[in-house]
Amino acid sequence: MKFEDYRIAEGIKTSISKLGYKKPTDIQYKSIPPILRGEDVLAIAQTGTGKTAAFAIPILHILQERKQNSRPDGVKCLIMVPTHELAIQTESVFQKLGKHTKIDSFCIHGGVDQAPQIEQLNKGVDILIATPGRMFDLVSQGVLNLKRVEILVLDEADHMLDLGFIKDILDLMRHIPRKRQTLFFSATINEKIKKLAYSLVNNAIRIQIAPEDPVAKNIDHAVAFVEMDDKRFFLESLIRDNSEKKILVFVRTKLRAERVKSALERVNLTSDSIHSDKAQSFRASTMESFRSGKLKVLIATDVSARGIDIPNVDYVINYDLPEGLENYVHRIGRTGRGKQKGLAISFCSLQEKKFLEIIEKNLGKPIQRIDISDEEYNYTLDISQDKVNDLKSLLLEVEENELKHKKRKGNKKK
């Protein structure tokens, strides 16, 4: 079935065509019809499968039809997402798909001045994409009324639970009508998520897109055994060998992100980092720079990059190996989007082998190994431009990064 065969508004079909979409993905094919029928949906699908469009297309059509019948003003669809970046990305999808409709979509999130957001809400918004914190701030101030919400979407629900938003989700139910359509989208499902989902949906259509291999078939992924203190040399080498490639580097903590960035600066390699200690305006400009290709190397934590769709990422590097399969699949899924090929390499130190065992056990098969001979290993260390090898200098660098980290946190609280 092609998009042109769906009974959706011509303006939406025009946008779909201009975006180059011809046939729906599996999650879109299974989700669009029941959503159009007004049914609740509980959908489980891995990242990169096109799930935002799976709910955006039918929602835009439903609201376009209702708007023509002069339905009352106010927010008619609320989409809750866990992070600022995902809110901005989701808004972008709705605006592109809804360009030729009369539907107004808008996103609100923390970290920026709320005055322009309030001004836009006062003008009128049909679809509101929101992070929990800013949404409740505006509800408590009386500037956001959710009493006319007809469709509720919870996106990246598993990640919202990981971030401790379950109370916020349950509190939200007091502010929206009981009679509504609820769409629940998650990359994974467990008992906690299932319990929450079934408390919110009503006779939901359950959709699960779960391929035997959770890693997309167009992603080649492998692991290289590299000691913790040597990782910066191998990252430097990989970046120099692929200077025109777009490289996304994942680390475990915010402090690690700054340390890796400092290590690259020492060898005159340009990179930037995103994490929750950075101001939202800075994070947004950094992401835009990376999307456009102006910035070639981005260092990120799991939280800051969760659910983000960045085009044309050539390499994903797990500088720190994640502790489980879910984050592993999420990370390497940032490359190989759509029909593009992707490459992902994980650096695994002696201390991280336990994480590798867990990932491979849950994956059901071993990850390909990159065989590095002693000669190649030593050569990579020798050719590095990083001459800060003595312990004293490295400890000073760590102290400086920790001081910067504490200072940033202090300024953030103010």
pLDDT in tens, 385-414: 876 554 445 555 555 655 655 655 555 444
Which candidate, 28, 53, 95, 77, places its Cα nearest to that of 182? 77
Statement to judge: residues 176 and 31 lie in one domain: yes
Query: Which position has the token pair 């079935």?
Result: 1
Determine the Cα angle at 317 with ends 313 and 319, to 5°: 150
Statement to judge: residues 189 and 243 lie in one domain: no
Statement to judge: residues 110 and 223 lie in one domain: no
Does residue 113 contact residue 39 with C-beta atoms inside 8 Å?
no
Spatial separation of the C-alpha atoms in residues 129 and 38, rounded to whole Å: 20
State both tokens at 328.
Answer: 């592993």
State both tokens at 12.
Answer: 């939406």
Statement to judge: residues 201 and 290 lie in one domain: no
Give the residue from 209, 241, 268 where a domain finishes: 209
Note the pTM of the prediction, 2 decimals: 0.71
Statement to judge: residues 258 and 139 lie in one domain: no
Does residue 401 contact residue 255 with C-beta atoms inside 8 Å?
yes
Q: In the prediction, which pLDDT does 391 show?
A: 44
Statement to judge: residues 178 and 108 lie in one domain: yes
Give the residue from 209, 236, 268 where a domain finishes: 209
Structural domain harbouring 176: 3-209
Query: Which position has the token pair 């029941």?
Result: 34
Domain count, the chain: 2
Does residue 291 contact residue 318 with C-beta atoms inside 8 Å?
no
Query: Which position has the token pair 């400092």?
Result: 262
Tell whether 214 is covered by a domain: no
Statement to judge: residues 205 and 225 lie in one domain: no
Statement to judge: residues 277 and 398 lie in one domain: yes
Does residue 153 contact residue 59 with C-beta atoms inside 8 Å?
yes
Question: Mean pLDDT across the stretch 224-234?
Answer: 95
Is the pLDDT assigned to residue 62 strictly greater than 90?
Answer: yes
Statement to judge: residues 311 and 203 lie in one domain: no
Q: In the prediction, which pLDDT does 210 show?
A: 66
Q: Which residue has the higher pLDDT, 406 or 21?
A: 21
Does residue 135 contact residue 150 with C-beta atoms inside 8 Å?
no
Is the pLDDT assigned to residue 76 strictly greater than 50?
Answer: yes
Q: Which residues pair with 79 in a beta bridge?
A: 129, 153
The three-state secondary structure class of 149 is coil
Tell whether 90 is covered by a domain: yes
Is the pLDDT assigned to residue 139 strictly greater than 80?
Answer: yes
Give the residue from 187, 209, 231 where a domain finishes: 209
CATH number of the domain at 325, please: 3.40.50.300
Statement to judge: residues 161 and 236 lie in one domain: no
Q: Choose the weakest-confidence range: 171-180, 198-207, 277-286, 404-413.
A: 404-413
Per DSSP, 111 falls in state S
